[in-house]
A and B are shown apart, each in its own frame.
Chain A
Amino acid sequence: NAGVMQNPRHLVRRRGQEARLRCSPMKGHSHVYWYRQLPEEGLKFMVYLQKENIIDESGMPKERFSAEFPKEGPSILRIQQVVRGDSAAYFCASSPIGRRDTQYFGPGTRLTVL
């Protein structure tokens, strides 16, 4: 049973470019969460999605960031016009039920903005 998969594992972008991060949840999991870890800090919640629905996006920056989890395919975290402060590790987690269940984390995507 494959775990949570994220790609790419490392992503380098220049300021002003777009970054697209993908997350495939564990088989049978319909809940996806995105977290961001800035250098030398803990993880901070960004967004919680179910298939075709954003449930909680209270941790998302107001501009340039968006997320989706379509009926088919992986969840996508999109960052437009990246800035140096977006450099971080972005982790995706999935769970089968939601807030009462274990969240399983992927290996993360490390974004570097030059």
Chain B
Amino acid sequence: GIQVEQSPPDLILQEGANSTLRCNFSDSVNNLQWFHQNPWGQLINLFYIPSGTKQNGRLSATTVATERYSLLYISSSQTTDSGVYFCAVVETSGSRLTFGEGTQLTVNP
């Protein structure tokens, strides 16, 4: 099956800093989603981005499907950005989401 690798596994920032999270995947995909799991365990859809670039406020994401990676940018980070960020993909032959292991982000005041 498809492999999804996220980096870095852990990231600690001061409030106001910018960060880039990376997701590499091993095969062609139909679907790529970024999620934020907050400290209460809720999964929040951030982006559906199988290719191209999208922006939503302080967050933006870029997927380069031909090179099999996606990047999530967080600008001017806030303490409420803390939590785990997951990348998940659906390979072209399937329907299930395969998740990476996540990036644990801690934003300190």
Give me the interface of A with B, judged by CB distance under 8 Å.
Answer: 31, 33, 35, 41-45, 48, 55-56, 59, 89, 91, 93, 98-105, 107-108, 110
Q: Which of B30, B41, B88, B100 contacts A99 (CB 8 A)?
A: B30
- From DSSP, what is the main secondary structure of chain A's interface residues? strand
Among B45-93, those with CB < 8 Å from A are 45, 48, 86, 88, 90
Are B95 and A104 within 8 A (Cβ)? no
Are A108 and B43 within 8 A (Cβ)? yes
Q: How many A-B residue pairs have CB under 8 A?
A: 59
Among B25-39, those with CB < 8 Å from A are 30-31, 33, 35
Give me the interface of B with A, judged by CB distance under 8 Å.
Answer: 30-31, 33, 35, 41-43, 45, 48, 86, 88, 90, 94-102
Are A43 and B95 within 8 A (Cβ)? no
Given A91-B43, A108-B41, A108-B43, CB of A35 within 8 Å of CB of B97: yes
Among residues of B, the one whose C-beta sits closest to the C-beta of A58 is B96
CA distance A110 to B37 in the complex (A): 14
Are A45 and B96 within 8 A (Cβ)? yes
- State how many angstroms separate the Cβ of B19 from the closest Cβ of chain A: 20
CA distance A42 to B43 in the complex (A): 11
Are A33 and B31 within 8 A (Cβ)? no
Q: Which of A35, A100, A103, A107 contacts B33 (CB 8 A)?
A: A103
Are A102 and B95 within 8 A (Cβ)? no
Are A48 and B95 within 8 A (Cβ)? yes
Are B35 and A105 within 8 A (Cβ)? yes
Q: Which of B31, B45, B98, B102 contacts A100 (CB 8 A)?
A: B31
Q: Which of B33, B45, B96, B100 contacts A42 (CB 8 A)?
A: B100
Q: Which of A35, A55, A102 contacts B31 (CB 8 A)?
A: A102
Are A105 and B45 within 8 A (Cβ)? yes
**Chain B positions within 8 Å of A105 at CB level:** 35, 43, 45
**Chain B positions within 8 Å of A35 at CB level:** 97, 99
Are B45 and A43 within 8 A (Cβ)? no
- State how many angstroms separate the Cβ of B80 from the closest Cβ of chain A: 18
**Chain A positions within 8 Å of B97 at CB level:** 33, 35, 43, 45, 93, 103
